[in-house]
Amino acid sequence: KTVKNAESKSKGRPIKFIEGIEIKASPVSNVQEEIVGPGKNDLPLETTVKVTSTDVSIEKISSIQFKYAQLLDRNVEDVKNISLYIFIDEWMNTRYRYGGTGKNGIDCSGLTGQLMRNVFTINLPRTAREQYNISSKIHKDDMQEGDLLFFNISRGISHVGVYLGDNYFVHASLNNGVIISNLEEPYYNRHFVSAGRVSGNDHTTAVTR
């Protein structure tokens, strides 16, 4: 099922925000806010996320969590990688442009390159085929948030996205631009080739945007 906007899929189910979160300013020249929780060492590493921005607030973080909990049909406290979802939100609906790497148009491998660099601090080669070649192949049952998903749309590996969990992935599609889709959709299920994990991406490291 393709997800294009925030439909209230979670109505009728309890949605709970993460309790005990606080925002504190870090002593840096630009505005840097760090999300920390009580007993930091007792929490999953992915719960602690540094976000460098000029407009990030607890309200925006809560809004991002709520929006993507609805889109991905999960509890709000399970939307943990705030940097990832802020990145997706900033790029959502950007039009597709072959060879593009910017907000005026981006292609599939351009998006995965931008996302992996900005969220996971990993540099990828430019094309979907090259990204496929340098990744370790992962069984579908072992996919994790941040893995690359590869598709054979035309003449081999020709499309790539980033896995978000629960069969959802973000990608730049030819017809709809940057969207979130589901691997269970017949079109993507039919063309899916493999998941790949890039060396150095442990999927739990807190990163600075």
**Token pair 């719960």 in the structure block, residue:** 47
Name the phi and psi angles at 111, rounded to 5: -65, -45
- DSSP secondary structure letters along 122-159: ----SSHHHHHHHSEEE-GGG--TT-EEEE-SSSSS-E
β-bridge partners, 181 = 169
Q: Which residues contact 75 (CB under 8 A, 6 or more apart)?
A: 14, 15, 16, 69
Residue from 119, 97, 122 nearest 110 by CA? 97
Contact partners, residue 156, CB within 8 Å, separation at least 6: 129
Active site residues: 108, 159, 171
